[in-house]
Every structure is written in structure tokens, then in C-alpha cells.
Structure 1
Amino acid sequence: MQGLSVSLVLIAVLAVAAPLAARSLERVVKVPIVVFEIVLGMLLGPSLLGWVQSTQFTDTLADFGLAMLFFVAGNEIDFTTIRGRPISRASAGWLISLVAGIGAGFALAPAPEAAVIIGVALCSTALGTLLPILRDAGEAKSPIGIAVTAVGAVGEFGPLIAISLFFSGRQLGTASGVLLGFVLLTGLAIYLASQARHTMFHAQVTRTLHTSAQFAMRTIMLILSALVVLSMVLGLDMLLGAFAAGVLWKVAIARAPEEDRKVIETKIDAVAFGFLVPIFFIDTGIDFELGALVASPATLAMVPLFLVLLLVIRGLPSLLAAPPRSASAAKRAMVLFGATGLPIIVAVTAIGRDHGLITSGISSALVGAGMLSVLLFPLLALRQIHPAQIHPNTNSSQYEAGP
């Protein structure tokens, strides 16, 4: 109990220290807060100082944080904005990434299961991580922001489908049937939610928005818990349910008064990024097996190799979704944003490591590459579209060139 108490307090300290550290460097370089959360977790975790230990309770909180991250991603996607060209081209790019990623996986680890794990990790895009960065930079609604959202939506949903198909423990045909059943059920729920007016529901949300009842947030937790548990009962990845829950909530609340929706979004951000999501990233740093990574020069060399593979396998196909007549800087930014991956990498490598399908060295190298991608790629991408670190709200017309 004492160890748990110390770990909880220190994790809370790290959660407070991360934004302060990011703020202190803001004038020199804008580093995403998640980078500091992961690095501080590594620093105080067993790999270095050993002050914080991962416990079953903190791991459970971290799982909730990861689920909340995917809920936010599903909730923030505006499907009316990305439908048509952006989503179709992003889907084509992801399929290319999946095939190329599995091919690279076979070259690095000939076992089919290990190759699929590496391939799924390399074809992911961290939409839940990128959305706050785009939003903070004022780019969420810009042409490149819409394109990145489409790439990220497919880059998170696609790998979740692949994980559910290949690692459910069932035959591929059975797994496909179960997955189809889940998609149909959630699709039906989303359709029904989109058709109903929800007058009484919205009225209850409005009445309790500033009271202790908090009907909106309680409903969110119900939807999230129900779909996460349903996906787990069906043997699917829980993140698939979390992502679907975010989409369902967005549809259910779409016709509520705009002022109420803004208040609810603020509350969701408070729960997600003020509490649960930081625990996930800090716990990722705590659990990071630095010893396995530095055990041999060959394993350590995999980190830059996987980083380059993320650029080639995931970044380059993301160009298919670039806005028409994009300038060269916008295209470079698309490659960098598309190659930013971490949550799916953490999830799929954990599956592979727990089932003995990949070594701890490969797992740590993939996670290490994912952490570097979150550290470097969004920063470099923002510098492409804001070359002089100009104000984040600069007019987005600069991203398109041509007649």
C-alpha cells in the first residue's frame, strides 16, 4: 500500500511537472507535453532512478487513459469534413502502409505473428496525440488539419481492426464475423442516434450541466464503459470500443445547443488531458524497458531504423490525402504528421510481448521510435507550416499553392 501511495503521488507530481517543463522551453522549442510525460516517467521509473513502480492500480488507470484518448479521437473527428476525397485517399494510403509494414516485418522478424505486429505498429498514426497539437496550433480546421485528421482517423481505426482480426485468438473467418457483428451493432446505434432529436436528453444535459448531477459526463462514461466492455466480451481490442464510443457520443450530442456542447468539450478535456491521459503516457515511460533496448548495439540500432520506416511506410503514403495543390512545405508536413505514432504502437507491442510473439528488445525499439516520432515529427511539421514560429492562428491559405 505504501508503494502504491508513493507512486500515485509521484505520478501526480510528474503530471504537473510536464506542462511546466513544456512551458519553460516554449520560447526555444515547442515540445508536445506527452514527450515530457513519457521522459519523466522513464526518469523516475525502474529503468533509471527507480522511485516510481508500476502497479496493477496504476496500470488500470493507464488503460482508462488510453481508452479516453481514443474516445476523444472518435469524438473530435468531423466526418462531414473528411468524407469524400480526404477519407478515401487516406484509406488507400493506409492499405499501402499496412502491406509495406508487414513486408518490413517479415524482413526483420520472419515469424508471421511478429511480422504482423511490426506491420500494424508501423502503419499507425497517433490521431489522439495529434488532435490536441493541431488544435493548440490553430490548425484543426485548416486544409492540412482536415487532411491530417483523415489520415489519423484511418491510421487509428485501421490498426484497431487489424488487431481485432489477427490477435483475437479466433480463426480469421470467425474473428471477421465477430468484428462485423460489432461494427453492425455500433453502426446501428450511431444511425439511430443520428435520426433521433434527443429533446428530453438534451434538456436533461442542459439542466445538470453546472450541477453535481453532471448528466452529460455520466452518460459519456456509460457509453464508453458499455462499448469497451462489449468489445472485450467479443474478444476485440478495447480501443475499438473506445473509438466507437467517441463517435456515438458526438452524434448523440450534435443537436444540443452549441454553448452546451462547448462546455461539455471542456469537461471532456479536463477528464482526459487533466487526469487520465497523462497517467497513460507517464505509465508508458515507467514501463519502458530501457535495459532491453540498450542490451545490444543491434537492438539499439533498431530505434532509428523504425523511425525511418515510420516516415517511409506511414508518412509517404499519407501524401495521397494531402490537400489539392499543396505547397511543398505542406506535403512535408503531411509526411511528418502521418508518421507520428505511439498509442497503437504501445498497445500492439504489449500484445506481442505478453504472448511471446516479439522480443522485449523489438518491443522497446518500436516504442522508442514511437516516442521519438511524437517528439520530433509534429514539431518539424509545425515548422514547415509556421517556418518562423509565427502566431498559431495565421491564415491557413498559406498551405495551398498553385493557380
Structure 2
Amino acid sequence: MEGYDILSILLVLISAWIGGFAMKRIGYPAILGELLVGILVGPALLGWIDSNSTIDVLAETGIIMLMAYIGMEINFKDLGKASKAGLLAALGGFLVPFILGYYAITINGGTQISGFFVGIAVGVTSLATKSRILVDLNLLDTRIAYVLMVGALISDTIALIIFAGLSSFIDAGSVDTMGVIMVAVKALLFFGLTSALGFYVLPYVGKLFTKYNIKDKTLYFTLLLVIVFGFSELAEIAGLHSILGAFMAGLFVRDGIFEKQITKQVNSVFHDVSIGFMAPIFFVSTGFQVTLDVFKTDLNLLILILVIAFVGKILGTVLFYLPSGHGWREGLAVGAGMNGRGAVEIIIAGIGLQKGVITQEVFSILVFMAILTTLSVPIMLTWTTNWLQKSGKLVRQNTREGFLIMGANSLALLISKYLKDSNTVTLIDSNKDLVASAKANGFNCIHGNALESNILEEVGAKNFKTFLGLTSNSEINLLAAQLAYDAFYIPEKHIVLTSGEGRAGISLLKSISTSTLFASKANIDNWIKKVQNNEHKEVFEKVVQKMTTRQWLKSKLNENVKILPILIIDENKNNRPFHYNDTINIEEKVLYIV
């Protein structure tokens, strides 16, 4: 039996990896692949794997660790500065589908408690997948992006609070006046105690670790687990579910209890263990609980829940969004973006099934609803934002600005000299001599490795609009651009590709929304030497006909002149890098060196 359990875990992990990898390759969250593969290999279809006690324990642990990680990813302080639009989107996007979901179940013979559970599941919004979708659609610097992130955060927080109270009522088995009071008192005590621990005790522990110079990452990781499971147990004692305790623990751990570098390292390990091991077991095993009988016995209810999920979320967002003054079209785009469900919805549905509140058929309907709504987000968000773009109503906000440049060589300094006239510019280089030289010439330059995420975090990479990879090493430029894309969602990325770089480099550029500097491959070592020795000449040329950067470059190549175009200067003297995916307008100037 023990050998069978280990084999089951092995098969679950292999299935999770295959499903998650396949789904990520086509641009969707890995959890969808893990759910689908669980349905495929589980009892619903092939029947190769079934749940057992070992998988159940690991899945339960996976829920706790996943919720803690979600808490770590959320900046709870953003709730305090949430815009009116974000709050309206959150309320409309949660309340309307919540109410519709509740009545859909109760009218069809379900209990009030099951109606509440379905309402919560239909009302939540996937927070974890929003950033990547916004990056892929080049929307991160729009007002829609900010509203979506704040809206998702608020709606998920509302859902967890309602779920916590509902879970207490189920466990209490009574909803009389005294029962309601006891549930409320225990919930308040829980939030009071965890807040006291989070604001006072945990920071004190962190100071002790710093005082005694404790650097043992294993010890820190163990302490993190103790905090997460300790908070989870407090939630259970209070009659709330453990996931709320784990979520609260994640929120407090995120807020800088330990040294920044240690926190970064430990959180990275926690991410790998939870997302790479525990959570996939949970999602694959969740697929084991799905039954396809709903397509025969409960097809009408399935269709009804799907309609409520789509229409309720989108229409509710549009209606509540109107008082923001941003228009119903933008409300439609926000609703389309909030329509996806994710981890929280699946966890709540699974707990409802575990507690016997909802049937296996209703649980299966909620899983299919989560899958289909999440698959719809990129398609619907693309359509609605393109519509806004064409009508001139897609508002971009300058929440990000400036250039983050990897490389402090002479060519990078020349480009930076012109860019900093109208932008903030920060350079990073691992060569101390180049950093010292850049600083001596008045540039803001940081010594460090731009391939290390903690270095980019320290320089505030998340606040920059554009990343430039200006070293002569294509591989390093590509890796740095990918880090800027994956970890910091920097919208614009342009890098140097050398002439020897093959098709693989070009393919990677497309996958991370990056273009080539100078609009072509270039071996810049000679140009660096020319600039360093002051053997170059800077030429400004006005463009008299609108054309792409590639067209302009080809026209110069036909003149058989060896040049390197570095900047485009518009009529307002705003400078931008000369790169592949750009258009030069009439009266704009190109700055190139010869």
C-alpha cells in the first residue's frame, strides 16, 4: 500500500507537470492544465489514478501553502489607496454574480448554505493570473490594469471574509442569535490576535534574528512554515477555515518581517515548494472529484451557472462602474478582465464538497465554470481593449516612467546622455570601474548583476517603463529582458542582439515582447571603442516621410554607409531608443553615429 501511495504521488506530479507545461505554452495559467489532466487521468475519464489518504493530506497541505503564497503576493496596503473605480468594479463584479449564483441554486432545490457557497465561487476573481495577461496584451500601463488588480484584490478579500463566516456557521450547525454572536466574537478574536502577532510579535522575532546575525535559510524557512501553520490552526480554533489563517500569515510575512535579502530567498523556496509540489497535487486531485455526469443529468444547471458567471460578472461590473465616470465601454473591458476564476474559487468549491454542502455535480459545474471563464479572459480582454483603442478611449497612465539600462559602457552612456534630458535613467553594471566612471560623469549608476532579481528589486525595476539591454553579450541581454518580463512586468524592452544570434534568439524576443535595438543585429564592441576614444560623429537627420525604423535603416544601407542609429527625437524633443518595432513620423529626427 505504501509503494502504491508513492507511485500515485509520482503519477500525479508527472501529470501536473505535463498539463501545466502544455497550458502555459499556449498562454494560460498552469492550474487549468492541472485541473484538466486530473479530469483526464482520474475516475472521470481514464481512471488511471484515484485519490488516497496520502494524496489527500498533501493536497490539504497544498491548499494552506498556496493561500499563504497568495497572501505573500498581495500588497494589502493597496486596499487603502484603492481608487473609486477599483472599488466599484470589485463590488459590482462580486455582488451581482454572488446574488445570481445564490438564487440559481436555491431555486433549483439547493439549500441556502449551498447557494451561498456557489455564490462565493461565482463571485471571486483570479488575482494571480492578471499581471501576466496584462503584460502579454501590453496593458500594464493603462487605467484598466490598475482597476483590475485592485478590483481582484478587494473581491477576493470580500469572498474570503464571507467564506470564513459561512464556514463557522456550518461547523456550528446552528444559526440562532447566540450562535451568530459566538461566530462573530470568535472571528473578531481571531483577527485581533493574528493582527497583534503580525504587527508586533513577528517583527520583534525578525529583529532578534537580525540582532544575532542569524543567516540560516533553512531555519528561516522552517519558521515561515511554523507561522503559516500556526495561523492556520488559530483559524481552525476560531471556527474559521485554515485557508484564512494561511492567507493572513502570508500578508504579514510579506510586509518585511525579516531582512529583505533573506525574505526574498526564503519566499523563493516557499514558492517552489508550494507552486511546484504541493499546489499541483491539490489541483490534479481536485480533477479526480469531477464527474462528467453533469452533462447528462445537470446540463441545464451547468448552462445556467455559466451564463450567470459570464453575464453576472461582466454586467455587474459595467453597472457598478458607471458612477466612476469612465464610461460603460471601459467597464465592459474591466468586467471581461475580471471574469476569470482561479485558485481561490477552486479551493472554496473543494471545501464545500468536503463539508458536504454542495454535491459532486455542483462541484463539477464550478470546476468547468472556472476553466471556461479563465480561458475566455485573454480573448474577451483583447476584443474589448481593441475596441477602446479604436474609439480613442483606452487611457494609459504614467505610473511607470524612465529607463533601466543594463550596461555602463561608453555607448550606453552616450544613449543615456540624450535619454535623461526628458526621462529618468538608471544604469546597472557589474564592472566597478565602469560604474565609477558613469557616476563621475553624472549618471545614476548601480553596481550589481542585472540577472539577479534582488538587484533589480532594489533599484525599483517595477517602476520603470523601459528596459534596455546594452551589453555586447546577446545571451545576457536576452536573460535580463526575460527577467524584466517575468518578475517585474516592465512593459517595453529593447536589447542588443549580435550578428551571430540565431533564430532561437528572435523567437525568444517575441515570446517576451522585446525588440532589437538599432532595428537590426549589431556587433557593438567596435562602436563602444569608437565612442570611448571619441572617434565617432553624431548626426541628426530629419525625416520627411513617415516610415518604419527598418525602412529608414534599409535606405541608409543602400547608401553603403556604416552607421548606428541610436535615438528618435520627436517635435517636443522627447527622445526614445531606435528599435525594430517603431515608426518614425514626419518632422521627427533620427540621431545616428558614424
TM bucket (normalised to shorter chain) is: 0.7 to 0.9
Which amino acid counterpart does residue 122 of structure 1 have in structure 2?
V
Stretch of structure 1 that moved more, 223-232 or 183-192: 183-192
TM-score between both structures, scaled by the size of structure 2: 0.56
Paired position in structure 2 for 1:106: 103
Paired position in structure 2 for 1:236: 240
1:37 aligns with 2:34: yes
Paired position in structure 2 for 1:56: 53
Whether the 8 Å contact between 2:310 and 2:373 is mirrored in structure 1 is no
Q: CA RMSD in A?
A: 3.7
Output one character per residue of 1:189-233: Cα deviation in whole Å (capped at 9) or x when no partner.
Answer: 222158659333246686223xxxx12211110110101111112
Aligned-residue offset at 1:276: 1.4
**In 2, Cα distance between the equivalents of 1:271 and 1:36?**
19
Pairs aligned (count): 382
Paired position in structure 1 for 2:575: none
Paired position in structure 2 for 1:77: 74
Indicate the structure whose relative CO is greater, using CA pairs within 8 Å and at least 6 residues apart: 1
Paired position in structure 2 for 1:394: 491
1:46 aligns with 2:50: no
Quick one: structure 1 residues 287 and 230, their matched pair in 2 at CA, closer, same or farther if it must change by over 3 Å? same
Stretch of structure 1 that moved more, 357-366 or 304-313: 304-313
Q: Which structure's CA Rg is the greater one?
A: 2
Paired position in structure 2 for 1:267: 269
**In 1, Cα distance between the equivalents of 2:211 and 2:141?**
29
Aligned-residue offset at 1:115: 2.3
SS at structure 1 position matched to 2:57: helix
Quick one: structure 1 residues 291 and 177, their matched pair in 2 at CA, closer, same or farther if it must change by over 3 Å? same
Aligned-residue offset at 1:291: 2.4
Which amino acid counterpart does residue 394 of structure 1 have in structure 2?
P
Aligned-residue offset at 1:76: 1.5
Whether the 8 Å contact between 2:126 and 2:152 is mirrored in structure 1 is yes
Quick one: structure 1 residues 30 and 352, their matched pair in 2 at CA, closer, same or farther if it must change by over 3 Å? closer
Aligned-residue offset at 1:118: 2.1
Whether the 8 Å contact between 2:336 and 2:381 is mirrored in structure 1 is yes
Whether the 8 Å contact between 1:74 and 1:246 is mirrored in structure 2 is yes
Paired position in structure 1 for 2:19: 18
Quick one: structure 1 residues 312 and 181, their matched pair in 2 at CA, closer, same or farther if it must change by over 3 Å? same
Which amino acid counterpart does residue 298 of structure 1 have in structure 2?
N
Paired position in structure 2 for 1:122: 122
Stretch of structure 1 that moved more, 65-74 or 110-119: 110-119
1:93 aligns with 2:90: yes
SS at structure 1 position matched to 2:293: helix
**In 2, Cα distance between the equivalents of 1:294 and 1:304?**
16
- Of 54, 62, 65, 1:65 maps to 62
Q: How is 1:333-352 mapped onto 2 (pairs within 5 angstroms)? A: 333-352=333-352
Quick one: structure 1 residues 309 and 185, their matched pair in 2 at CA, closer, same or farther if it must change by over 3 Å? farther
Output one character per residue of 1:306-343: Cα deviation in whole Å (capped at 9) or x when no partner.
Answer: 43245347654785898x96995x65443233222243
Quick one: structure 1 residues 79 and 282, their matched pair in 2 at CA, closer, same or farther if it must change by over 3 Å? same
More strand by share: 2
Output one character per residue of 1:77-132: Cα deviation in whole Å (capped at 9) or x when no partner.
Answer: 12344422338953783377336523542244243223212222222123245467
**In 2, Cα distance between the equivalents of 1:11 and 1:18?**
10
Quick one: structure 1 residues 308 and 187, their matched pair in 2 at CA, closer, same or farther if it must change by over 3 Å? same
Which amino acid counterpart does residue 186 of structure 1 have in structure 2?
T
- Of 202, 205, 208, 1:200 maps to 208
Paired position in structure 1 for 2:381: 381
**In 2, Cα distance between the equivalents of 1:356 and 1:119?**
16
Quick one: structure 1 residues 100 and 52, their matched pair in 2 at CA, closer, same or farther if it must change by over 3 Å? closer
Unpaired segments of 5 or more residues in structure 2?
Answer: 173-178, 390-484, 494-594
Paired position in structure 2 for 1:221: 225
Q: Percent identity?
A: 22
Stretch of structure 1 that moved more, 145-154 or 238-247: 145-154
Whether the 8 Å contact between 1:124 and 1:344 is mirrored in structure 2 is yes
- Of 154, 160, 175, 2:183 maps to 175
Whether the 8 Å contact between 2:114 and 2:358 is mirrored in structure 1 is yes
